[in-house]
Amino acid sequence: MIELRTPAEIEKMQVAGIFVGEVLTELAARATVGMNLLKLDQIAHDMIRARGAESCYIDYHPSFGASPFGKVLCTSVNDAVLHGLPHDYRLADGDMISLDFAASVDGWVSDSAITVIVGTPRPEDARLIDTTTRALDAGIAAAQPGGRLGDISAAIAAVALADGYTINTDFGGHSVGRTMHGDLHLPNNGRPGRGVHLKPGIVIAIEPWFLETTDKIVTDKDGWTLRSADGSRGAHMEHTVAITADGPLVLSARS
């Protein structure tokens, strides 16, 4: 069932979104050469505790996860692109890291992700991040009342395909509310004019993610981290977005 949020509820969700944005801004700034992934997770944990928020990840155990996640942050480095389980690894110059974070504040959830380059950038990594960022922007712009879910998917795909990337549709966006994952699934490829009608009150996480030279993924031995099948790098961008009568409203915007 797709739940429609009232304007008052969307305001409460924006409070959670502001917090999630603050955490990701801090983590992106701290993702420097020598930083340990476990330390990044601890920083996020400390910020959750200080805010009186709740993690959406630590007890998360869907069917595709080997066990409860056990951390509050996803840290996907280089050929890892989704669900990266923090472990004892220090970031090196030239690494690319995707930080995915979701939290509940006063019972309302926001979910967001960002990919950054550590130290010296590789041109191909910067290009992949740029494409993924523009795909997110295109998806948000297509999230218009009166439209269809497929409009968002098609807008995301158009950017990726124009830049020569292929698209995996196993994982994508989703509706957000009292829980992190609602019933609505938003693939990163689709046909415009198809799918669920976009009504004011729908809140979705729009999250394009692409790999440099493949659309195939494999699960790491940790049972969580998803990596490219060919070792190429990946990028992941995400915002929680509300459909309003005036158009899309990004709830997790970062300063």
Predicted confidence band at 25 (pLDDT cuts at 50, 70, 90)? very high
| pLDDT (average), residues 123-139 | 98
**152 touches 189 (CB < 8 A):** no
218 three-class SS: strand
Contacts of 99 (CB under 8 A, 6+ apart): 24, 27, 28, 31, 40, 73, 74, 75, 113, 114, 115, 116
Q: What residues pair up with 97 in beta bridges, in sequence order?
A: 77, 116
- Residues contributing to the annotated binding site: 83, 100, 111, 174, 181, 207, 238
Looking from the CA of 153 toward its CB, the CA atoms found within 13 Å total 24
Binding annotation for a divalent metal cation: 100, 111, 174, 207, 238
Instruction: List the binding residues for substrate.
Output: 83, 181
Domain ranges of the chain: 7-250
**CATH number listed for the domain at residues 7-250:** 3.90.230.10
- Per-residue pLDDT tens digits for 202-213: 999 999 999 999
Q: Which residue's structure tokens are 């992700």?
A: 113
Beta-sheet strand order (sheet of 226-228): 80-82, 226-228, 217-219
Nearest-angstrom CA–CA distance, 79 and 96 = 9
Reported as a single tens digit per residue, the pLDDT across 54-86 is 999 999 998 888 899 999 999 999 999 999 999
Place of tokens 């693939």: 187
Kindly state the DSSP code that residue 145 receives in the 8-state scheme. Answer: T
Question: What's the whole-model pTM score?
Answer: 0.97
